[in-house]
Structure 1
């Protein structure tokens, strides 16, 4: 097992034990993960540098050996040329000076021969050439010129064999060197793949330690938005920063739950307390209207009708408080095919008395749309009620429905005081009442338009104020169209 592999196994064991990544802060976790992921890459770099140095040393060594061997072969050939010339001179001169030159040439040739054969053991022809050199040392006994010529021819042949053998030895060493380099490349490739895989695994593990707490925070936020039961328990192994955010979200969830409880209790108690005196008022009005306590005159009957109308309106306002409470608790709309024509007729019938001083202009380009039936009815009720309460008397109230490829648009318009542009943005907020006196002389709750906006939002649409040429004020509700869901 190499050192780099041991380093990779050490880094993996440290990750699995959590001794390096179990850090307090998010910054420490990121830095620790980064440093641990760098350990296999550092081991890979060290191993690559080691292999590169080894290849460089091997290349330099083999190059020097080959260059030295080739140089010795060239020197041996030069020595053979000098030896052959000295021997031929001795055959001509036959004196001691020529003999001394031959002895020197033979000694130099033997040295060069030994330098090659002692260094490179795989060279063929060394033994035969040594025997030939030994024979040439007895050059004084060569009385016949043919004997010298035969020995010189044999020496040249043996030198040629040595040249071929040296070339083969060099080629063999090059092949071995190439095989070593190829094996090193294969080993480096596998090691790189292994260490890079370990680094990627460590990076994924480190990122997972960050992603898991973030995913939990996202889940908590989604549960807070949708009010889906109890929140998951606090994390014990998350970084301090993310753990702090999770604690804040839990505190926010508790605070929202408290506010929701207070709001629900307030609306429920307010509606209940208002219903009690209202029931007594309606019962008294019923007794007076029936004549149970005596006959009423004409003016008294007229006053009684006004009181009945006021109690009915008050009952409607109380129901709006309850409807608003129920509306805030509804999260998922149920889209069905709604008969808008029939719903508009029902709404007009409910507001028949209030609409006596108004004219109606109804233009329904489409009789049916896909929407939540209950939410759509609340939108129509509140828009018509708002037009009756704030629209100019003896003027027309326009109700129009249009549909394009993706959306349905409900427009309810009336004449009256125009709404300033700077107040449109806050017009759909709860408890924001319109300016000016109402036609029914009742103080509004400021919930009608907020209920319209919330109903449209639940159906993934919106409510806005638009400019039209046929009325002073026009409220438009956009409802995206989709397939009917059962």
Structure 2
């Protein structure tokens, strides 16, 4: 687990693209979602309400127009009918000389007057009003004349002819009754056109506004979720130096505080683990050095010759102490990487002597398994930290030796490719399981394919080797190839400026 990543701010800068009012979060995430949907829907709801009101107003005006037109048309027909009825009554009274027949005239006259009064209250055009007034005046003149001649029906002969222009005027008024209908229809069409234009402009204005509101609230809703996701991802990658800050509703901010508390606890545990590894490694290194030196003296016969059985036991003791010292050095190197105390000391060195030195250190393990090592290395010069490059090669070779079968074969090739030095190491072991490929360089990870009869390692060798390769600006990778065994490739720049890790 690494804590070396530079702190970065998880929360976004306060919304340059979000209005200030939108940055006042509700107390809960659910309320934020409801407010967002409500505000995004309000413009469209307003447009729908306005459209409904406009349609209702247009419908009311249509009903009123139809009613007015029907009243005018009905009244106009009544006027024509009553004028005709009055003329018939006068003519019958004149022909038969019976004054009692004028009763129908007076009834028609009464209905004519009431109808004319009702028409006068309707929304008539100016021409219709003039025509109605003229028609009413002519009818009243005839009525006065008929009233004066009521006792002598023969005098009605003088006024019978006046009904003809009156009837023509009534028919003319009936024809004029369609004019307000056309006028109202045109007015409704204009009103409908204006309402349609207003609705269109409202939609053109409100739909983008609703979209902007939806986008704004999407950002507000997605921001705390994204911050929580980033915090979990960083903690999952072991990057514990970043403070978890979540902006949003109160419940999500509380969740962010819990995540930050978890981060601090993990960081404390990581620091405790590193201190433990550092202390235990230092405590074991001193006595182990004494054990190794003593076993070496026994094997070399400095304190006296040993019989074959004693010498075999001494070699086992020496070999295992060497392996144990390698593990302790791995723990110390890993501890230095985690506490950022690893420093590159770069200078130009020959690559071949480094490879020969590593092979010499691994000679005992190679000979015990009867392995054959083929080394192909041209005269290559590289600017690097010699000790760390030796550790990289030693860890890769240790891995190859550990997994190689008895009497197996290890192939080492070094060459220069453009501005980079490329080192390939292939063994004849079981290779890396597909499920282990993405985790093989993780610290403390142990693959599924563990060789029998071998002391279990710490799982730090390849992790440290990759970290050192990255410090040099290079890469250590597992290369897919046909056949058995594992193929590791170390690629380093030929010239690398010395720098702190």
Q: Paired residue for 1:57, among 44, 57, 60?
A: 60
Task: Establish whether residue 22 from structure 1 lines up as the match of residue 26 from structure 2.
Answer: yes
C-alpha separation in 2, matches of 1:226 and 1:157: 104
Partner residue in 1 for 2:185: 174
Partner residue in 1 for 2:132: 126
TM-score (norm 2): 0.62
Task: Establish whether residue 391 from structure 1 lines up as the match of residue 404 from structure 2.
Answer: yes
C-alpha separation in 2, matches of 1:125 and 1:456: 108
Partner residue in 2 for 1:448: 461
C-alpha separation in 1, matches of 2:315 and 2:260: 54
Is the 1:77–1:159 Cα contact (8 Å) retained in structure 2?
yes
Q: Paired residue for 2:276, among 255, 266, 272?
A: 266
Is the 1:90–1:102 Cα contact (8 Å) retained in structure 2?
no
Partner residue in 1 for 2:486: 475
Q: Paired residue for 1:245, among 246, 251, 255?
A: 255
Alignment CA distance shift 1:387-1:209 (3 Å):
closer
Q: Paired residue for 2:358, among 350, 364, 367?
A: 350
Partner residue in 1 for 2:241: 229
Is the 2:92–2:101 Cα contact (8 Å) retained in structure 1?
yes
Partner residue in 1 for 2:453: 437
Is the 1:452–1:463 Cα contact (8 Å) retained in structure 2?
no
C-alpha separation in 2, matches of 1:143 and 1:396: 149
* Structure 1, 271-280 or 452-461: larger mean CA deviation: 452-461
Task: Report the RMSD for the aligned CA atoms in angstroms.
Answer: 5.7
| Cα offset, 1:267, TM superposition | 3.3
Partner residue in 2 for 1:116: 119
User: Residues 248-268 of structure 1, C-alpha deviation per residue, up to 9 Å, x if partnerless?
Assistant: 321222122222222332333
| Cα offset, 1:389, TM superposition | 3.5
How many equivalent residue pairs?
A: 430
SS in 2 for 1:414: coil
C-alpha separation in 2, matches of 1:134 and 1:257: 110
Partner residue in 1 for 2:224: 213
| Cα offset, 1:129, TM superposition | 1.6
Structure 2 alignment gaps of length 5 or more: 1-18, 341-349, 381-385, 415-421
Alignment CA distance shift 1:191-1:377 (3 Å):
farther
Alignment CA distance shift 1:218-1:380 (3 Å):
same
Alignment CA distance shift 1:188-1:390 (3 Å):
closer
Is the 1:142–1:148 Cα contact (8 Å) retained in structure 2?
no
User: Residues 65-106 of structure 1, C-alpha deviation per residue, up to 9 Å, x if partnerless?
Assistant: 221221111222222333344444455444424544444444
C-alpha separation in 2, matches of 1:422 and 1:197: 50
Structure 1 alignment gaps of length 5 or more: 1-12, 331-341, 368-372, 402-407
TM-score (norm 1): 0.63
| Paired residues for 1:5-404 under 5 Å | 22-23=26-27, 25-31=28-34, 34=37, 49-90=52-93, 92-122=95-125, 123=128, 124-137=130-143, 138=145, 148-149=160-161, 151-186=162-197, 207-224=218-235, 225=237, 227=239, 229-231=241-243, 238-240=249-251, 242-276=252-286, 316-325=326-335, 347=355, 350-352=358-360, 354=363, 355=366, 357-360=370-373, 381-398=394-411
Alignment CA distance shift 1:231-1:60 (3 Å):
same
Alignment CA distance shift 1:446-1:111 (3 Å):
closer
Is the 1:453–1:463 Cα contact (8 Å) retained in structure 2?
no
C-alpha separation in 1, matches of 2:77 and 2:270: 102
C-alpha separation in 2, matches of 1:262 and 1:246: 24
| Cα offset, 1:168, TM superposition | 1.8
Alignment CA distance shift 1:451-1:464 (3 Å):
farther
Alignment CA distance shift 1:142-1:135 (3 Å):
farther
Is the 1:359–1:397 Cα contact (8 Å) retained in structure 2?
yes
| Paired residues for 1:420-435 under 5 Å | 430=444, 432=446, 434-435=450-451
Task: Establish whether residue 414 from structure 1 lines up as the match of residue 428 from structure 2.
Answer: yes
C-alpha separation in 1, matches of 2:196 and 2:317: 100
| Cα offset, 1:231, TM superposition | 1.0
Which structure ranks higher in relative contact order (CA pairs < 8 Å, sequence separation ≥ 6)?
2
Is the 2:69–2:178 Cα contact (8 Å) retained in structure 1?
no
SS in 2 for 1:248: helix
Alignment CA distance shift 1:426-1:181 (3 Å):
closer
Is the 1:409–1:476 Cα contact (8 Å) retained in structure 2?
no
C-alpha separation in 2, matches of 1:184 and 1:431: 73
Alignment CA distance shift 1:436-1:59 (3 Å):
same
